[in-house]
Amino acid sequence: MRFRIDLIIRLLLATVIAWAASGDGLHISLQSLQELDALSSGKIEGPDDAAAYVRKAAALSGITDPSFVPDLESRLAAAELEAAKDPNKLVSDERVAEAFNLMSSELQVAHPARVTAADVLQHRSVSASIFPHVFSPKTVSGSRPVGSIVMLYQLWYNGGVTGGVRRAAQLDRPPGSLKISQSGGSSGLDKNPNLIGREYQAAGYAYFAQRSPQQIRSFLDRMADTIGLPEGR
Amino acid sequence: MKIEKMVWSALLVLCVFVTCGDACWPVPQPGTPAGGFPVTTNAQVFDSAGNLLASGPVPNIYVTGGWLSDEYNEEGVDIAAGSLENFAVTTDANGNAYVANGRVNANWSTSITWNPACNGYTLDFGDVDDLQPLVGIPWICTSVAAGESANSSTHFVLSGAAPSTVTSYGDFSTTYGEPELRVYVGGSAPGLVSSVSASSAVPGSSATFPFPRSRMGRRSPRDSIPWLIRTQRPEGAWFLWT
Q: Where are the domains of chain B?
A: 26-144, 151-241
Asked if residue A58 has pLDDT above 50, the reply is yes
Contact with chain A for residue B55, Cβ under 8 A = yes
Split at pLDDT 50, 70, 90, the class of B185 is low
**Which pairs count as long-range contacts for A48-53, CB under 8 Å and 24+ apart, including other chains?**
A49/A81, A50/A77, A50/A78, A50/A80, A50/A81, A50/A84, A51/A77, A53/A77, A53/A80, A53/A146
Per-residue pLDDT averaged across B62-72, rounded? Answer: 97
Contact with chain A for residue B110, Cβ under 8 A = yes
For residues A21 and A42, what is the distance between their CA atoms, to the nearest angstrom?
33
Residue A151 lies in a domain: yes
Contact with chain A for residue B120, Cβ under 8 A = yes
Say which CATH topology domain B151-241 has. Answer: Immunoglobulin-like (2.60.40)
Residue A20 lies in a domain: yes
Give the chain B residue nearest A173 (alpha carbons).
B204
Residue A8 lies in a domain: yes
pLDDT value of position B16: 37
Residue A231 lies in a domain: no
Asked if residue A68 has pLDDT above 70, the reply is no
187-226 of B, contacting A, C-beta below 8 A: 203-204
pLDDT tens column, A107-128: 999 999 999 999 999 999 999 9
The reply to whether B151-241 shares the fold of B26-144 is: yes
The whole model's pTM is what? Answer: 0.74
DSSP state of B212: P
Size of interface A-B (CB pairs under 8 A): 197
The answer to whether A202 contacts B30, with C-beta atoms less than 8 Å apart, is: yes
Give the chain A residue nearest B97 (alpha carbons).
A23
Give the range of the structural domain holding residue A219, as residue numbers without chain letter. Answer: 2-179+192-226
Residue A232 lies in a domain: no
Say which CATH topology domain B26-144 has. Answer: Immunoglobulin-like (2.60.40)
Per-residue pLDDT averaged across B54-65, rounded? Answer: 96
Pick from A30, A35, A212 the residue to mutate for testing the B interface (most B CBs within 10 Å).
Answer: A30
Q: Whose CA is closest to A148, among A59, A56, A224?
A: A224
For residues B28 and B99, what is the distance between their CA atoms, to the nearest angstrom?
9
ipTM of the modeled complex: 0.86
For residue A152, CA distances in Å to A179, B16, B41, B75 come to 23, 33, 20, 47
Among A17, A31, A167, select the one facing B19 at the smallest CB separation: A17
Q: List all residues 6 or more positions away from B158 whose beta carbon is below 8 Å from its beta carbon.
A: none
Asked if residue B232 has pLDDT above 70, the reply is no
Q: List all residues 6 or more positions away from A49 whose beta carbon is below 8 Å from its beta carbon.
A: A42, A43, A81
> What DSSP string describes A97-155?
HHHHHHHHHHTT-SS-----HHHHHHHHHHHHTT-TTTS--TTSSEE-HHHHHHHHHHH
The answer to whether A162 contacts B21, with C-beta atoms less than 8 Å apart, is: no
104-123 of A, contacting B, C-beta below 8 A: none
The number of domains in chain A is: 1
Instruction: Quickly count helices (H) and strands (E) in chain A.
Output: 10, 3
Split at pLDDT 50, 70, 90, the class of A5 is very low
**Pairing assessment for the beta strands B137-146 and B37-46 based on DSSP bridges:** parallel
Among B30, B47, B95, select the one facing A168 at the smallest CB separation: B47
The share of chain A scoring above pLDDT 90, in percent, equals 64
Provide the residue type at B168 as one letter.
S
Give the chain A residue nearest B235 (alpha carbons).
A191
Split at pLDDT 50, 70, 90, the class of A232 is low
pLDDT tens column, B7-35: 444 443 333 333 433 434 455 678 889 99
Provide the residue type at B78 as one letter.
D
